[in-house]
Structure 1
Amino acid sequence: MVASQDLGTEFGSQYPRHGLSLLYWFCHEYISFDNNNEMKPNRDPQDGAYGFHYYGNNEDLLDSLSDHQGYAYYTVGNLLANVNSPDNERLPDYVFRYFRTSRYLYVWDQNNRDRIIVRRTPWGNIDRVYITQHYTRGTCSSTYDPDNTFRISRELIEDIHSTPRNWYFQYFGIYRYN
């Protein structure tokens, strides 16, 4: 498994960031692999469950979809969008853990920056996955930081998918801030 610092990113790696927990949820609980080894979401991102919403790629952060009819980008990870969602459409508590404990600390611009962007095919599969983050508040607008946007390999998704949560969280030190 690859640590976030090995990827050259700070994605979810320091308190109160939630990206590594979000990535675990995505790979382990949201994605499955069908008989053709295609990545299948447990809910279609265009339905809006878990806070997924359409991402227009207006700043050309990702590849253009102009030659890919029926493809679309969707993003997930905005914890504020999840707070009032029904239980069956909300991200799990372990993704919210640091967000809740840091809401009133002077880290509010850090506790909700991490996102995952997926590319949905016309057949409802997910064929590309990216991790990204918003710029820190005051540095720029709320757009995503291109220097901290990375495509996640299928192999890494499969590794995380088959990794028990306690081992993954221990490996990344996610519970060191109890």
Structure 2
Amino acid sequence: IMVRILNHLSDLRETRFGQPCPRHGLKLLWWFAHDCVQIDSNGRMTAQCDPANGAFGFHRFYNERLLPKTTLPYYEAGNLHTPGSLPDYVTRSYTGQSDSSNTDRIIVSFDSRWKRFEKIYVTQHSNQVRFDQNHTYCVSTDLLKNIKELSRNDFLREPTNGSERVSISIPSVNTWSLIGP
């Protein structure tokens, strides 16, 4: 199974993960980067919570051919049907309806012996049950570090990357040249 790795903020934006509102994926990813993981100088991702104990609504994810096989268990977070498990700023746009407001998830492979995340993935539901393999991505430690450097408002502001801005210049017309003699 091949999963695209997101290394930069521009890679993340290009995927449109967690967009547009009321989707919650970008808020969920910012929360995860700031509250759930610490990255050391060797790129090891130490867990600041215990997914195996259900912290923040994490629960076991049984790989349905979505992610590469691993000897470590996968855990999923982001289901907004679990009240009180995530901060208000993540859940605020949840409508409780069958819309896109509860589409996004984070899935981690977790080594409980070392309290480390080995891999971090973001994905979205393709329907009420299955995840969309074409919209599942591995989040690199570099991208997580970039997210950690940003305030929530700066991360959620669109666009975050100057290359995404479009400017159109309209040449000015000399109105005197349009008026005849």
Same structural fold, with TM-score higher than 0.5 when normalized by the shorter chain: yes
Which SS does the other structure have where 2:22 is aligned? coil
Which of 152, 167, 171 is the equivalent residue of 1:165? 152
2:67 matches 1:62: yes
- Name the residue aligned to 2:110: 120
CA radius of gyration, larger in: 2
Instruction: Give, in angstroms, the shift of residue 80 of structure 1.
Output: 0.6
Q: Show CA shifts across 1:131-155 (max 9, x none).
A: 0011135xxxx11110111111111
Do the aligned partners of 1:28 and 1:162 also contact (CA within 8 Å) in 2? no
Identity of aligned residues (%): 38
Q: TM-score, normalised by structure 2?
A: 0.76
Which sections of structure 1, spanning at least 5 residues, go unmatched?
174-178
Which SS does the other structure have where 2:131 is aligned? coil
5 Å-filtered alignment, 1:5-154, equals 5-6=13-14, 9-34=15-40, 36-57=42-63, 59-65=64-70, 68=71, 71-81=72-82, 83=83, 85=84, 90-99=85-94, 102-103=95-96, 108-121=98-111, 122-137=113-128, 142-154=129-141
Q: Distance in 2 between matches of 1:10 and 1:133?
A: 11
Distance 1:3 1:62, change over 3 A: closer
Q: How many residues align?
A: 151
Q: TM-score, normalised by structure 1?
A: 0.77
Cα RMSD (Å) of the superposition?
Answer: 1.9
Which sections of structure 2, spanning at least 5 residues, go unmatched?
1-8, 161-181
Which SS does the other structure have where 2:157 is aligned? helix
Q: Distance in 2 between matches of 1:23 and 1:44?
A: 17
